[in-house]
């Protein structure tokens, strides 16, 4: 186009665009991209360039023009579309000392550039407008970028015209502008690094405190600019519930279903469940637990046999009353849990101490027809779980197993899902109906500031065995016949559900979508061919694709879940696709990389990009995946830890909760006091999200590890709520 050539020549440059395209007006990246994909002459591996303009206030004297030059009125951000620039208005603003930075409105754009947002490009900057702006260049485009030489689509001062140029054309243009304006420089920013710094500096806190402002502009900011089609659409920190749903949908984990409260688990999430199953099965089988399957139906009589136990479930039981066109003689329940369905048979099977221990587990679905708002994975009417049910001769053996299973649950969360949990025991009020005691691993969702029960392992004692007559003769009693002492079996039950997947998504996901912990990812590393342009020969292209395929196969042979993405799409499209789906590691390979015998490894969890030699690649990838797991866990652990507020005065409790924390306090462990905690903390001013659970705090667990807090002095340390003697440090919080 002549206009472009003219602009370049003004700066002493020449440009020869790869292509010049007219298309339908495109107002989103997705429509722009698809317009270009169907246009003639556009190379298949092009990427979009985004040009965002922000307004701001200067925060301090640091950035004020001391030399009398024009104060900048706008910030222009030039970046690859695939670069996550969501931290521009927060971390970047902070870095540059700018305040209240937000996207510029149409007026400002018109004033400075004479263009609307869908017509903007770096070429809209002229020697006259450039000094009035702070220009930020994605370092992934700039001088240090070595990784991607795909051509870029740039708006040609119109929403319906584009030029395809090389990255170096853009950089040259900006450098020439720098040269034309004394002292005004382009700022190169590494957004990946920025994100990493931001996350490690103050995880979760900044958004939390920001949200409290309830600033309308922030609400708007929740919608990530232009991202509707290709990213998550809203920010995690701002509209968490919508973000969560969007992540699940965009990552292809789940779909909504025509029966309310039921969801389709697509392979991308079901795979995670399979990974958990495989891991857990192996370990419980070593403990002598065997898998089995009990029917989903429970007769009314059996279900209602244990009234007290049933009370908790009764309002949620689904009843089958009809088969074909016939009404059943009596309604039949679908199991909400299987204690009463299984234990009559335990009584039948356990006739002697030789039949103990009996250790059965089943992987099944249960139905609890909740009438509260459902939420995928966390609260659904049908869900998948495992339920273990064991019977033992001695209490000691049962107690030991309860803790062994809880340890496995902890490992599922921490070693597989990279989600930190705190093991402990439930209060009397919160324990399983019919249990002697309930142990639990408690997780935490920093974004909502709520605790979440991860999995529970109950010691049922002899409560059910006495009811169902699960009894044997004492093998140590030598008396004869009828006089022999009877021992009622000591029973445990324990369960872990698909809820774990929801917790994992909430804890690790970011504004690009899902972030998968490597050990449960069904795809751990994806090879993406890069750097192929229209000028690349077919032979060269084939060489790159074949090498991607070969590398993927090598990795698979070494036990890494890898594949090459050889789809006929641009690298940027693929990057975005796999980022949304949370694949832990992207391995980019272009002709340049092949020459250097390397791939570029890009971590999903923190965006860090580094070349990795092809020599010993499987070992390097193994190490990287382990590092990713460790880093994800440690970040989440730091977030959890920093959100546990120690309260020794009641006045500290509600502010702690309102700042999205849970809290620990030395507690009297009395049920009436727990009711008071809930009542008093529920009166706080936090506005309610329709999908949020109740606002009152309940006890989450009494952590086994009490050593983190000052020792409780009997008779001296008091419960901050009621003033009675405290027994143990107990964690309370709002929860799911």
List residues near a second copy by CB under 8 A: 255, 257-259, 262-267, 270-271, 273-274, 290-299, 301-302, 314-326, 331-332, 334, 344-345, 348-349, 354, 360, 364-365, 367, 369, 371, 381-382, 384, 567
User: Distance between CA 62 and CA 65 in Å, rounded?
Assistant: 8
What's the CA angle centered on 491, arms 490 and 494, to 5 degrees? Answer: 150
- Closest to a second copy by CB, 484 vs 680, is 484
For the bound state, the minimum distance from the C-beta of residue 341 to a second copy, rounded and expressed in Å, comes to 8
Judged on CB neighbours under 10 Å (0-12, 13-18, 19+), 329 is exposed
Alpha-carbon separation of residue 422 from 418, 439, 452 (angstroms)? 13, 11, 10
For the bound state, the minimum distance from the C-beta of residue 313 to a second copy, rounded and expressed in Å, comes to 9
- Closest to a second copy by CB, 319 vs 704, is 319
Contact 645, 661 (CB under 8 A): yes
DSSP 3-state of 730: strand
- Closest to a second copy by CB, 200 vs 297, is 297
| Cβ-proximal residues to 202 (8 Å cutoff; 6+ apart), any chain | none
- Closest to a second copy by CB, 219 vs 348, is 348
For the bound state, the minimum distance from the C-beta of residue 536 to a second copy, rounded and expressed in Å, comes to 23
For the bound state, the minimum distance from the C-beta of residue 514 to a second copy, rounded and expressed in Å, comes to 17
- Closest to a second copy by CB, 322 vs 550, is 322
- Closest to a second copy by CB, 257 vs 485, is 257
Judged on CB neighbours under 10 Å (0-12, 13-18, 19+), 670 is middle
Could you give the dihedral angle defined by the CA atoms of residues 194, 200, 201 and 206, in that order, rounded to the nearest 10 degrees? 90
Contact 11, 18 (CB under 8 A): no
Q: Using omega within 30 degrees of 0 as the cis cutoff, is the peptide bond preceding 296 cis?
A: no
User: Distance between CA 641 and CA 294 in Å, rounded?
Assistant: 41
For the bound state, the minimum distance from the C-beta of residue 345 to a second copy, rounded and expressed in Å, comes to 6
For the bound state, the minimum distance from the C-beta of residue 443 to a second copy, rounded and expressed in Å, comes to 23
For the bound state, the minimum distance from the C-beta of residue 705 to a second copy, rounded and expressed in Å, comes to 36
What's the CA angle centered on 253, arms 249 and 255, to 5 degrees? Answer: 55
- Closest to a second copy by CB, 128 vs 321, is 321
As a whole number of Å, the end-to-end CA separation of the chain is: 58
- Closest to a second copy by CB, 382 vs 404, is 382
For the bound state, the minimum distance from the C-beta of residue 477 to a second copy, rounded and expressed in Å, comes to 15
Contact 674, 698 (CB under 8 A): yes
User: Distance between CA 312 and CA 703 in Å, rounded?
Assistant: 25
Under DSSP, the state recorded for 100 is E
User: Distance between CA 137 and CA 80 in Å, rounded?
Assistant: 9
């Amino acid at each position: 186009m002549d206009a472009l050539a003219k602009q370049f020549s003004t700066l002493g440059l020449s440009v020869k665009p790869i292509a010049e395209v007219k298309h339908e007006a495109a107002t989103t990246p997705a429509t722009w991209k698809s317009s270009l994909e169907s246009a003639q002459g556009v190379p298949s591996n092009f990427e979009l360039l985004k040009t965002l303009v922000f307004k701001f206030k200067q925060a301090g004297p640091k950035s004020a023009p001391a030399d009398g030059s024009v104060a900048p009125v706008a910030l222009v951000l030039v970046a690859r579309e695939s670069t996550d620039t969501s931290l521009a208005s927060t971390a970047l603003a902070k870095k540059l000392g700018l305040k209240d930075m937000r996207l510029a409105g149409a007026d400002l754009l018109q004033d400075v550039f004479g263009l609307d947002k869908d017509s903007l490009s770096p070429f809209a900057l002229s020697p006259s407008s450039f000094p009035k702006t702070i220009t930020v260049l994605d370092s992934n485009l700039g001088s240090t970028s070595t990784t991607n030489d795909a051509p870029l689509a740039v708006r040609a001062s119109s929403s319906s015209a584009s030029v395809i140029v090389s990255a170096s054309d853009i950089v040259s243009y900006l450098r020439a502008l720098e040269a034309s304006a004394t002292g005004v420089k382009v700022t190169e920013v590494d957004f990946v690094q920025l994100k990493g710094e931001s996350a490690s500096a103050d995880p979760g806190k900044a958004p939390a405190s920001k949200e409290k402002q309830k600033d309308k502009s922030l609400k708007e900011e929740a919608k990530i600019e232009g991202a509707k089609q290709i990213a998550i659409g809203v920010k995690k920190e701002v509209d968490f519930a919508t973000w969560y749903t969007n992540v699940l949908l965009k990552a292809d984990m789940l779909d909504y279903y025509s029966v309310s409260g039921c969801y389709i688990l697509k392979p991308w999430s079901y795979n995670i469940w399979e990974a958990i199953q495989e891991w857990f099965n192996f370990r419980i089988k070593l403990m002598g637990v065997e898998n089995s399957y009990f029917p989903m139906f429970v007769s009314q009589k059996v279900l209602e046999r244990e009234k007290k136990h049933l009370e908790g479930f009764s309002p949620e039981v689904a009843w089958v009353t009809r088969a074909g066109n016939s009404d059943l003689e009596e309604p039949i329940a679908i199991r909400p849990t299987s204690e009463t369905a299984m234990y009559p048979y335990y009584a039948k099977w356990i006739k002697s101490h030789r039949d103990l221990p009996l250790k059965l587990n089943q992987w099944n679905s249960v139905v609890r027809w909740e009438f509260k708002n459902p939420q995928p994975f966390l609260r659904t009417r049908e869900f998948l779980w495992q339920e273990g049910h064991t019977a033992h001769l001695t209490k000691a053996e049962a107690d030991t197993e309860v803790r062994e299973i809880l340890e496995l649950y902890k490992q599922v969360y921490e070693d597989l899902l990279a989600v930190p949990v705190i093991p402990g025991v439930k209060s009397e009020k919160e324990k399983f109906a019919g249990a002697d005691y309930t142990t639990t691993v408690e997780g935490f969702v920093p974004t909502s500031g709520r605790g979440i029960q991860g999995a529970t392992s109950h010691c049922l004692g002899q409560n059910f065995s006495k009811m169902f007559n699960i009894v044997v003769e004492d093998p140590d009693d030598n008396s004869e016949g009828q006089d022999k002492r009877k021992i009622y079996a000591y029973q445990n039950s324990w369960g872990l559900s698909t809820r774990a997947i929801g917790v994992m998504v909430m804890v690790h996901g970011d504004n690009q979508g899902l972030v998968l912990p490597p050990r449960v990812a069904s795809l751990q590393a994806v090879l993406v061919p890069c750097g192929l342009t229209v000028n690349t020969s077919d032979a060269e292209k084939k060489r790159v694709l074949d090498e991607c395929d070969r590398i993927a196969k090598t990795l698979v042979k070494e036990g890494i879940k890898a594949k090459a993405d050889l789809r006929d799409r641009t690298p940027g499209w693929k990057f975005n696709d796999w980022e949304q789906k949370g694949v832990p590691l992207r391995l980019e390979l272009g002709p340049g990389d092949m020459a250097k015998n390397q791939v570029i490894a890009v971590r999903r969890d923190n965006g860090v990009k580094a070349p990795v030699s092809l020599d010993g690649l499987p070992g390097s990838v193994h190490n990287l995946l382990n590092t990713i797991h460790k880093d994800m866990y440690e970040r989440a652990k730091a977030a959890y830890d920093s959100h546990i507020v120690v309260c020794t005065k009641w006045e500290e409790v509600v502010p702690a909760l309102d700042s999205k924390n849970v809290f620990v306090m030395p507690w009297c462990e009395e049920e009436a006091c727990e009711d008071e905690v809930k009542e008093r903390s529920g009166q706080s001013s936090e506005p309610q999200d329709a999908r949020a659970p109740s606002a009152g705090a309940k006890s989450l667990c009494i952590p086994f590890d009490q050593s983190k807090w000052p020792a409780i002095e009997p008779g001296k340390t008091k419960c901050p709520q009621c003033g009675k003697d405290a027994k143990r440090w107990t964690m309370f919080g709002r929860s799911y």
